[in-house]
Amino acid sequence: MYYVIQVTSGMESKIEERIAVLIEKELYGRCFHPIRHVRKKIRGEWKELHEKLLPGYIFITSENVRELYLRLRDIPALTKILGKDGEQFIPLPEHEVEWLERLTGSQGQNTEVQISEVSVSKEDAITILSGPLKDMEGRVKKIDLHRRIAKVEVDFMNRKTVIHLGIEIVGKKREQTKENRQRI
């Protein structure tokens, strides 16, 4: 089962390293924070960057969360496991696990959200060709072609959250004007 650990933003990698060193591997499976690939224009040139998808959060899988929680309390800079209801820990709901695994590529060790390829028709209709946004059209709230970002609404910890995912335009069909046809 997936659980969410809230940590100080910017400390995700260090906390994961501490967990790997201080906590027995038998108590947990995966421990990660998803990274998204995006392209940004820096000084006139498109660069591929890697950014945290959900800063301040680490995901961890465990079948023995109570024992894991007792061990996690010894790690500095760790704030809490989210979803604690009294003495009970509530795992991430299945529909939230679904979008997380879809974005990061199932249950493997991959924790990176790749860039999705899109095509734009001459009528400015956008088609998602490949990548993690494929089959998520209903969740896409806005696509910013200029910034190459898709704004996607997901449920995270039982509330609506907008995450930004990278897109790459691989085909843009434009109507040929008489002037453009003469140049060709």
Report how far residue 55's alpha carbon sits from residue 8's, in angstroms, rounded to the nearest whole number: 9
Query: What pTM was computed for the model?
Result: 0.82
Low-confidence ranges of the chain (pLDDT < 50): 175-184
Q: Give buried/exposed letters for 11-48 (b at 16+ CB in 10 A, else e).
A: bbeebbebbeeebeeebbeebbbbbbbbbeeeeeeeee
Per residue in 24-77, pLDDT (tens digit) is: 999 999 899 999 999 998 998 989 999 999 999 999 999 999 899 888 888 877
- Residue span of the structural domain in which 50 resides: 2-175
The domain total for the chain is: 1
Identify whether 180 is part of a domain. Answer: no
Identify whether 145 is part of a domain. Answer: yes
Q: Residue 170, Cβ neighbours under 10 Å: how many? A: 12
Identify whether 181 is part of a domain. Answer: no
For the chain, percent of residues with pLDDT exceeding 90: 44
Identify whether 62 is part of a domain. Answer: yes
Q: What is the CATH number of the domain that holds 62?
A: 3.30.70.940
Identify whether 183 is part of a domain. Answer: no
Q: Which token pair is 6?
A: 């809230």
